[in-house]
Every structure is written in structure tokens, then in C-alpha cells.
């Protein structure tokens, strides 16, 4: 895949090609063109900074879906040690779209729950593109309740287009499974921190999204429906997704202003996929800071704070 593969990145791609061709010409002809190359690289960096500081909502949506964007396991591998995956809901089976287990962050035990998308076709089928069945949410609830008994904070990493809407999912009561999670997450007496790292789609996201703190990566989005789905309903035309994205206020800065999220986690210029390590470090620092603050609250204070946080959503000044 090219370094700049999205439609709005074409100006960057053109500059990158000029840099590459100039470097090749310099090497093949043994000509010193370091000054020209440096100038082109500066133009590239300046253009990149300008472009990514003025992204439209739709451009941020495309970044949230970038196929090389870091997924949950990429963060887990970089910020935790001793991750021990636990499987199954003890009722039906194991859903690979949601992973979970105990891990340590800086030596402190936590419970990690996360949507996991697939990187290639084989894994995408295995993970069902990050769209969980009811057993995925029931597994998540089982592990959250286990964390509650172990007095371990819960970290939820959200990245899903939505819960799986197929017949099998409905037969096993996907709506009920998510609703139970919403109810029971309010009763947890340990800190719960949620982070939207890519797509935060509707009830599929909320099923592991009831936290004392809800954060979002800079180029992620969080919404009751996809922009294309919204456009299909409102205008009967899914191609008007960019227009819907503008109206829906689903990007990180809009969500912060509306109080839907508590913090926006910075990404490298160009998106999270540009540098996994820097992105993961920013992610970890935000998580550690939130856990430190929430660790000062008692069991009842954690429950009340979580309830009040969601109860006031939608209030007008």
C-alpha cells in the first residue's frame, strides 16, 4: 500500500513521488541534489501539516477506517505485559470479534476488553470484521464481573461498525445482550475507562462503552449510525455520506464539545497508522492518567460518577 493511499492525500502522494524520483536521479547520475531533495521534503511536511490540521468530518471517517490503522491487539502488545486472553461466555461459545483478559500496565493488573478487526481476509472472517454476536457481549460481561471480584480496573477498547445484525445474532438476542451490559456496567465498583480507537458504531460500541471516562483517538468517530447509513435513511442516498458526516457531529472535537467524550487522544500527523509506537504511547499515557484519577474514588463514588456522567448527556445549558 502506498504511504498516502486515501483520496484526499493525493497532493501528498504527488510530492512524495517527486522526492522519490529526485533521489533516484541523484543516485543514478551521481549528482548532488541534496538541497533540492531537502526542499521537496520540507514542502511535503508543510503540506502534510496543513492538510491534516484541516480535515473534514468525512476525511476523519476515512482515517478511522484506514486498513493499516492500529487495532486493539496492536495497542495491547505495546502497552501491556502478561496479557492472558480468556474466552467464552459460558452459555453459547466464544466470539472472536471481542477479546478480553487480564494484563498488566506498568505492573498494575487490569482487565482489557476490546473489539478486534481483522488485518487480512482470513482474520477478518475470523473476527467478523469486529462486529460481535451476543456471545461476545456476554463474554465481555462475564470478564467485567470477574474483574470486579478481583478489584481490577476495566479498560474497554472500542472499534466496531456496530454489533452484527444477522439472523443468528437476532436469534440469540443481540439487543438483550447489549441492554444487560448497559445495566450491569453501571453496577461495577471498579474504574472503567473506555477508548474509541477507530469506529464507534451504535449499540455495538455502547455494549462495552459505559465508562467513568470515555476517550477517543483524534481521528476516530463515535455515532449512533454510520454516515452512509444516515444518508440512506434521510436522503435515500448512501453516497451522501460526506454530507451526513458533517451534520452528525461525530468527530472527536465535536464529541468533546458536546460532552459525549471526556478527552481526545492525539495521533501523529497523518493518522495513527503512521507511527504505532507514538500512538500507543499517547494512548497509554491517557489511560494511566485516567486510572490514577479514578483510583482516588470509593466504590460508591465510582458508581455514582459513572451514572451521573451518562445521565447528563444531552442536557442543554
Q: Given a cut of 70, is residue 100 above it in pLDDT?
A: yes
Q: How far apart are CA 240 and CA 258, in angstroms?
A: 24
Contact assessment for residue 227 and residue 235, using Cβ atoms and an 8 Å cutoff? no
Which are the contacts of 11, defined by CB distance < 8 A and separation ≥ 6?
47, 51
Q: Given a cut of 70, is residue 1 above it in pLDDT?
A: no
pLDDT band at 317 (very low <50, low <70, confident <90, very high): very low
| Predicted local confidence at residue 4, as pLDDT | 67
Global pTM exceeds 0.85: yes
Q: Which of 5-9, 193-197, 258-262, 307-311 has the lowest mean pLDDT?
A: 5-9
pLDDT band at 216 (very low <50, low <70, confident <90, very high): very high
Taking residues 242-253, what's their average pLDDT?
94
pLDDT band at 62 (very low <50, low <70, confident <90, very high): very high
Q: How far apart are CA 173 and CA 136, in angstroms?
A: 12
Query: Left (φ > 0), alpha (ψ -120 to 50) or beta: where does 110 sit?
Result: beta
From residue 80, give the alpha-carbon distance in Å to each of 27, 73, 116, 193.
Answer: 43, 10, 16, 15
| Predicted local confidence at residue 3, as pLDDT | 66
Taking residues 30-41, what's their average pLDDT?
88
pLDDT band at 225 (very low <50, low <70, confident <90, very high): very high
Fold of 61-311: 2-enoyl-CoA Hydratase; Chain A, domain 1 (3.90.226)
- Give buried/exposed letters for 159-191 (b at 16+ CB in 10 A, else e): bbbbbbeeeebeebebeebbebbbeebeebbbb
Q: How far apart are CA 161 and CA 205, in angstroms?
A: 8
Percentage of residues in the chain with pLDDT exceeding 90? 82
Digit-coded pLDDT (tens) for 126-146: 999 999 999 999 999 999 999
Q: How far apart are CA 138 and CA 248, in angstroms?
A: 30
Digit-coded pLDDT (tens) for 40-60: 889 888 888 888 988 999 999
Taking residues 92-116, what's their average pLDDT?
97
Which long-range CB contacts under 8 A does 250-256 form with residues at least 24 apart?
250/57, 250/61, 250/221, 250/222, 250/223, 251/57, 251/60, 251/61, 251/221, 252/60, 252/216, 252/217, 252/218, 252/219, 252/220, 252/221, 254/57, 255/216, 255/222, 256/216
Q: Average per-residue pLDDT in the chain?
A: 94
Amino acid at each position: 500500500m502506498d504511504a498516502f493511499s486515501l483520496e484526499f492525500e493525493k497532493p501528498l502522494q504527488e510530492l512524495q513521488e517527486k522526492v522519490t524520483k529526485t533521489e533516484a536521479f541523484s543516485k543514478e547520475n551521481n549528482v548532488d541534489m541534496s538541497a533540492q531533495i531537502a526542499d521537496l521534503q520540507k514542502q511535503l511536511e508543510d503540506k502534510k501539516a496543513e492538510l491534516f490540521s484541516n480535515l473534514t468530518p468525512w476525511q476523519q471517517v476515512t482515517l478511522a477506517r484506514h486498513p493499516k490503522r492500529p487495532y486493539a491487539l496492536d495497542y495491547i502488545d505495546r502497552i501491556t505485559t502478561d496479557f492472558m486472553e480468556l474466552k467464552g461466555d459460558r452459555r453459547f461459545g466464544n466470539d472472536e470479534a471481542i477479546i478480553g483478559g487480564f494484563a498488566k500496565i506498568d505492573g498494575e493488573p487490569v482487565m482489557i476488553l476490546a473489539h478486534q478487526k481483522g488485518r487480512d481476509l482470513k482474520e477478518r472472517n475470523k473476527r467478523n470484521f469486529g462486529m460481535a454476536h451476543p456471545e461476545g457481549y456476554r463474554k465481555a460481561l462475564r470478564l467485567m464481573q470477574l474483574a470486579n471480584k478481583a478489584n481490577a480496573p476495566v479498560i474497554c477498547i472500542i472499534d466496531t461498525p456496530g454489533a452484527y445484525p444477522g439472523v443468528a445474532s437476532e436469534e440469540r438476542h443481540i439487543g438483550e445482550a447489549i441492554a444487560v451490559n448497559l445495566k450491569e456496567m453501571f453496577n461495577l465498583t471498579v474504574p472503567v475507562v473506555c477508548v474509541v480507537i477507530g469506529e464507534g458504531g451504535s449499540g455495538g460500541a455502547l455494549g462495552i462503552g459505559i465508562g467513568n471516562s470515555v476517550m477517543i483517538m483524534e481521528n476516530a468517530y463515535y455515532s449512533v449510525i454510520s454516515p452512509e447509513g444516515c444518508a440512506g435513511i434521510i436522503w435515500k442516498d448512501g453516497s451522501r455520506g460526506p454530507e451526513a458526516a458533517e451534520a452528525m457531529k461525530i468527530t472527536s472535537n465535536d464529541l468533546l464539545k458536546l460532552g459525549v467524550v471526556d478527552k481526545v487522544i492525539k495521533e501523529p500527523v497523518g493518522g495513527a497508522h503512521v507511527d504505532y509506537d507514538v500512538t500507543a504511547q499517547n494512548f497509554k499515557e491517557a489511560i494511566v492518567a485516567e486510572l490514577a484519577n479514578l483510583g482516588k474514588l470509593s466504590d460508591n463514588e465510582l458508581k455514582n460518577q459513572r451514572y451521573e456522567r451518562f445521565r447528563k448527556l444531552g442536557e442543554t445549558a
